[in-house]
Structure 1
Amino acid sequence: MHKRRWLAHSLLTIGLASFCTLGHARTAGPEGLSEGKRIGKASYYSDKFHGRRTASGERYDRNALTADHPFLPFGTVLRVTNLQNHRSVEVRVNDRHRLRGGRVLDLSRRAASELRFVGAGVAMVQFEIVQLGDS
Structure 2
Amino acid sequence: MKKSKSESSPNSTAVTVFLFASLNRLLNEAIERSGRSKKQEATMRIVDGLSIQSDLKFEQLPLAGESSYVGVSLAKTANDELEGLIAKYKSVNGRRITKAQAAAACLYEHLSVYHSISEIGKRYKST
- The TM-score with structure 2 as length reference comes to 0.27
Structure (1 or 2) with the greater helix fraction? 2
Which protein shows a greater Rg? 1
TM-score (norm 1): 0.26
